[in-house]
Every structure is written in C-alpha cells, then in structure tokens.
Structure 1
Amino acid sequence: MILTELRATADEFARATDWQPKPEGLCRGEVCVPAPGALSPDGMIDIAIAAQKLGMPLVHDADHGVWALGSATLSGKSLSTAVAADPELKTFNGESFKLSSLRGKKVVLVAWSSY
C-alpha cells in the first residue's frame, strides 16, 4: 500500500490489506488483533499504529513524499535492510569464493533443486 500520509479510511485500509477495522481491533476472518488507537472516531486508520500492531513493515521515502506499507507477517518480523548474506562457496577447484568479490558487477544466481 503506497500512501502520501499516515492516515487512510477504514475502507481503503481493508481493500489494500484484507484487515477489517472493527471496534475489537483489526480483523482478518476470525482472527482479530487488538489495536487501541488505530481506528479513530472519524473512521480513519492510523497507519503507524496498525503497522506496529500487525507487524507490517512501514518505510518512508522522503525524496518522493510517500510511505510504503508491506504485508502483515506471522512472526511480526520483517527485513530491516536489503543487504544480503555473503555466502562463501567452493569453486570446481575447491577454492573458496565469496559473492562479495563480485560487488559492482552484474551477477545471475541460478539455484536448482530436485524436489
């Protein structure tokens, strides 16, 4: 959900996230998460409170004046950085090779599994 402010109508929020604002909290099906303060009397949702209660990542792009709200997570955890792990692999010759040695170059990673 892309926003220009941290408030949205209850209908907008429900359409974008599938979470229905109700007096008992934010609900999806039979699951309700208490979210005091998220739903204001005028029917607006405080996106920052809803994001925190549902474990949704919320990021701000100050250059463009927009906010992006990600999906709710079961664990309440989300990526806080786009930095990938730096695995150390073995070459065909058995030598160690780090992906970071290719920094600045275009790389294609192909993974295969025999599932």
Structure 2
Amino acid sequence: MQAINLYVDDLRDCPDGFVLARTYEAAIQIIETNEINILTLDHDLGEDQEGKELPNGYDLVKYFCEHGLKANKIYLHTDNPVGRNNMYETLIAAQRRGFISGEIEIYHYPITKNKYSGG
C-alpha cells in the first residue's frame, strides 16, 4: 500500500499531492483505511445547521493518539493559535508517553500556503 498525504480542512483549497477530508468523520475513514505519509490539520472544521461546532482538528488529534495511529509527518496549518497549541502539545505529550510513535515528525506550522478560492 502506498502512503498518501492527507489534508484536513473544511474551507481551504487542497494542495496538489494531497487527499482532502472536509470533516472529522471523513478524515477518520481515510486514516483507518490508508497509510499516511503527511497529515496536515486545520483546527476549526465548521458548524452544523444550528451553529454548534462540529468535531474539530483537536478531536482528530485525540482520536489519532488514543488509537496509536501512524503518520510520518504531521503539520498544523490552522490559523487558530489556541487550537494549534492544543493540538501540538497533545501530540508531543502522546509521543513522550508512548501513545504514538516517537519517530513521527511534528511541526507547529503549515507545509503549504493556505489558499481559499471559494466564498
């Protein structure tokens, strides 16, 4: 199985060379059925029709850590500074505690430029 690059974001354009997941649920399905090379995460993944926040990138990080999933590199491309810090610190702590591989490279910044073409 060839590893894929996964871009998780509800609004931004998907960079070339990445598979796009717009929701938490779509990301889980892709992560569970593919080998992941690069995982790049947004924090905020939208709201439902009633304005309630949908599961976000931090929820995905927690799922990733709880299940000991694998990726070679993880980047955080969110513009939400608190969300970015929460995701980063959780991933680093999970590595220290052995919940995820210590070989995963974790970056506090994006690998690609954030782009929006929609309205």
TM superposition score normalised by structure 2: 0.24
The structure richer in helix per residue is 2
The structure richer in strand per residue is 1
TM superposition score normalised by structure 1: 0.24
**Rg larger for:** 1
Larger RCO (alpha carbons 8 Å, 6+ apart) = 2
